[in-house]
Structure formats: C-alpha cells, structure tokens
Amino acid sequence: MIIRDAVEADLPTIVEIYNATVPTRMVTAELEPTTVEARLPWFREHSSEHYPFWVAESEGRVIAWLDFKRFLPRSAYRGTVEISVYVDEEFRRRGVGQRLLEQAIARAPSLGITALVGLIFGHNEPSLKLFQSLGFERWGFFPGVAQLDGVERDLVVMGQHCPPRATAIARSLVQSRINNQFNDSQSLMYLLMQYRHEPIHSKMLKIRDKYSMLHLDVLILIYHFAKICSDNILEIGAFVGGATIAAAFGVRDSGTPKKLIAIEPGGSVKHKRLGTRNIFRDLERNLARQRVSELVTTIKGRSFDPATISAVNETLGADKVGLLILDADAAKRRDIECYCDRFADGCWMVIDDYYGIGTNAKITPSRADVEALTAAGYLQPLGFYGWSTWVGRWGGLQR
C-alpha cells in the first residue's frame, strides 16, 4: 500500500468510498449520498488551505483517503486541524486507517499543525479505539447532538497535541498495553472455544479424569502454550502427570524439539479419585502409559533445593523457559525467584491456587504472591480459568 497526494482523477473513488458510509449511520453525519460535482469545490479548497489530501492506494486502486481541515475559523485556532479518514469497506480492519493516521500525526508539526482533532460518533467504537490506540484522548463530548433516523447520537471529539505531550504519550502507552492485554485475554477465551470442537478436547478430558486435579480448560491451555511457545517448558509440582502429559502432547504436536522438565518430590496423597501411595512412581508410570516419557525430564526433588535448581539449569543449558506450570505449594514467589532468570520475556505462566472459596490454606498466600508480582509489573495477567488457575505472561526482569 502506498500513500500519495490525491489528484482530481481520484475524486469519483473518494466520493464512492464516502457514500458507502452514509447508510451505515456510523461514520458521517451526512444523511444522503453526495456527487462528484458537489464535492469538486471542497476538493479544490484543500490546495488553497495548503493542507494535504491523501489517498491510500493498493495495486493501483484507491482504497482509503484522509483529509485535513481547519477546526474553527478564528485565527487563534489556526494550528488546530480536524482530520477525517474513510476506508473502503473491503479493506477495513487491515490497518489502512491506522497507516494514514500515523502519517498524519508524523507530518502534522511540519505542516504547522499544533493539534489534531477527530469528530467521531459516540457509537463508532472501532474509530474511537483506533484514535485512542494512536494517542488521541477524549477532549469533548456532545450528548445526543446528531439525529440519525430518529435516534439521538453523541459526538466525541478526540484530540492530540502535535507533537504529543509527554503525559499523553505515557497515558497512551499504558492504554495500548491495556488494549493489548484485553485483546490477548479475549483471544485466549476464543481459542478455548475453538478447542472444544477439536479431537484434542476429548483426549484431554480422558487425561484429566485419570491423572489431573486441574480443570479441563487449564489442561487445554497448557497443551496450547506448550505447542506454540518457542522455548522450553518447566513444570513445578507434577503430581501424577496430568499437566505434564498435556504439555507433552503440545510439544509433540508442535513438531519442534522442546525440553519439558517436570519437578516432583513424590510422597503419598489421599484423594478419592487420584489417591496414590507413591506419587513419583505413578508419575513415571503414567508418562510411560501415554508414551511421552522420552519427551519429559523428570526431576525428583523440591523446587527450591539447590540440587533441583542445578538439575534444571543443567537440563536447560543456555536455553530459556517459554512456559511455566506452577502448581506445587503456596510459595509461588519463592519458586518464581528460583527460576526467573531462565524465563524468556513473555514466557507463558500457568499458576494454580489463585482463587478459591472456603478454606484452602494455599490460596491466600499464593494469591498475595501473584498480586504483588503483578503490581510490580513482573506478571501480566490474561485471565483466570478452571477452578483456581491464574494465566498470564512474564513481563521480564527489567522493570
């Protein structure tokens, strides 16, 4: 896609793109389509105002346009300019509007523009989000000022100074982080729904019933993260192997060699479905039954024992961890501190015992640890799943 100055020959397409938005009642306050003849003086005015009028072109076809116009006629407002962006229906949600706006923001200071504003209907959420993601803030709100087919609609004025002020940049960085996190959370929920229609779902259900205390959704997420992560996998508190097997299936289906390390001290557990007198023996037996033993390095020991830490470091070599499954005791911070220098930035994190009702002694301290690490920016939450599992990503050590 290229962005170039519009020429008169583009006007029919410019008008066509504009007219397509009229019946949507989302973008323009114009209620009837316009014509090329009616728009010719408007188009020519741009050159006399010395503001550019740009079109975006893809494979020789004009697919979007952006124009600048004075916000208000009085001289004191001469640096404040209104921008409008229109994108051909076929090319929406592909970043075309974003590219045009980015160019407008970048070029504004050299055009003598000190502030840019966009006038957007309050119900036009995609445009509001787009402007917000590029550092625009809500500067004005006019409730019910537009009458669209008998419905009163609000008008929002989005604005930004050119060049942007430091506070606005900081706010927009925070906002874009929140937006990204929100999008990632939604993608995860969507992904889980998709998995419900795939064969792995019933396979995981069987694994859950036989070997795991975790919720099926959490096992599916572990499978998925193990499949997509680009580094290795570390599990702390493998028990009899439910989550380990889920991760091993993910590694196998990724078709990429990845190390999968499972730490478990062993012992016995009374549990009506999963009770065992020898956790470690059952872990190894279950991995063998599911034919994934060769994909897993089991380490018998407690996470924080120096011997365990050395064994993990030896197995990893110089490689990083791209997925952490943490389901041991309540000391989440302790385990994270033992291994955080091995986490890749953005390492997927599945941490159990985050949420619970009733009296589970693990929950309160686990949750306090996760919340403190989140507040400090080390952990980035993406959601809570199953019975009590926190899911998110490692934010890195350079806070």
Ligand X SMILES: C[S@@+](CC[C@H](N)C(=O)[O-])C[C@H]1O[C@@H](n2cnc3c(N)ncnc32)[C@H](O)[C@@H]1O
282 belongs to the binding site for ligand X (CB under 6 A) = no
327 binds ligand X (CB under 6 A): yes
Question: Contact 246/262 with Cβ under 8 angstroms?
Answer: no
Q: Is 263 in the site for ligand X (CB under 6 A)?
A: yes
Question: Should residue 236 be labelled a site residue for ligand X when binding is judged by CB under 6 A?
Answer: yes
Under the binding rule (CB under 6 A), the answer on residue 338 touching ligand X is no
Nearest approach, Cβ of residue 173 and ligand X (Å): 36
Under the binding rule (CB under 6 A), the answer on residue 118 touching ligand X is: no
Nearest residue (CB) to ligand X, 11 versus 213? 213
What is the DSSP annotation of 349-384? Answer: EEE-S---SS--TTHHHHHHHHHHHHHTTSEEEEEE
Residue 275 interacts with ligand X (CB under 6 A): yes or no = no
Select the span of 38-46, 92-100, 116-124, 208-216 touching ligand X (CB under 6 A). Answer: 208-216
Binding ligand X (rule: CB under 6 A), the pick from 33, 265, 356, 383 is 265
Check: CB of residue 160 under 8 Å from CB of residue 116: yes
8 A C-beta contact, residue 249 and residue 224 = no
State which of residues 160, 212, 232, 276 lies at the interface with ligand X (CB under 6 A).
212
Report the relative pairing of strands 260-264 and 232-236 from DSSP bridges: parallel
CB atoms within 10 A of CB 13: 19
Distance CA 127, CA 26 (A): 10
The answer to whether 381 and 181 have CB atoms below 8 angstroms apart is: yes
Site string for ligand X, 287-326 (x = CB under 6 A): ---------------xxx----------------------
Give the range of 30-38, 143-151, 168-176, 236-244 binding ligand X by CB under 6 A.
236-244
Q: Which of 243, 370, 373, 379 binds ligand X (CB under 6 A)?
A: 243
Is 217 a binding residue for ligand X by CB under 6 A? The answer is no
The site for ligand X, by CB under 6 A, has a size of: 19
Residue 245 interacting with ligand X (CB under 6 A): no
Residue 338 C-beta: closest distance to ligand X, Å = 9
Torsion of CA 372, 373, 375, 379, to 10 degrees: -150
Q: Does 33 bind ligand X (CB under 6 A)?
A: no
229 binds ligand X (CB under 6 A): no
State the amino acid at position 238 in one-letter form.
A
226 sits near ligand X (criterion: CB under 6 A): no
Listed in sequence order, the DSSP H helices in the chain are: 11-21, 36-49, 96-107, 125-133, 166-195, 199-211, 216-228, 242-254, 279-289, 306-316, 332-339, 363-375
**Rounded CA separation 127/257 (Å):** 43
- Residue placing its CB nearer to ligand X in the complex, 211 or 343: 211
Q: Is 250 in the site for ligand X (CB under 6 A)?
A: no
**Residue placing its CB nearer to ligand X in the complex, 137 or 235:** 235
267 touching ligand X, by CB under 6 A: yes
**Residue of 172, 249, 175 whose CA lies nearest to 206:** 249
Q: Which of 79, 97, 159, 242 binds ligand X (CB under 6 A)?
A: 242
CA angle 285, 288, 289 (to 5 degrees): 85
Asked if 100 interacts with ligand X (CB under 6 A), we say: no
Which DSSP category does 295 fall into?
G
* Of the candidates 160, 190, 162, the residue with the CA atom closest to the CA atom of residue 175: 160
27 binds ligand X (CB under 6 A): no
**How many CA atoms lie within 13 Å of 249's alpha carbon, on the beta-carbon side?**
19
Q: Least CB distance from residue 264 to ligand X, whole Å?
A: 5
Does position 214 interact with ligand X (CB under 6 A)? The reply is: yes
Asked if 81 interacts with ligand X (CB under 6 A), we say no
| 155 neighbors 119 (Cβ within 8 angstroms) | yes
Question: What's the closest the beta carbon of residue 214 comes to ligand X, in angstroms?
Answer: 4
Q: Does 264 bind ligand X (CB under 6 A)?
A: yes
Contact 110, 160 (CB under 8 A): no
Pick the closer one to ligand X by CB: 172 or 303: 303
Closer by beta carbon to ligand X, 136 or else 280: 280
**Chain positions contacting ligand X, by CB under 6 A:** 212-214, 236-237, 239, 242-243, 263-265, 267, 279, 302-304, 327-329
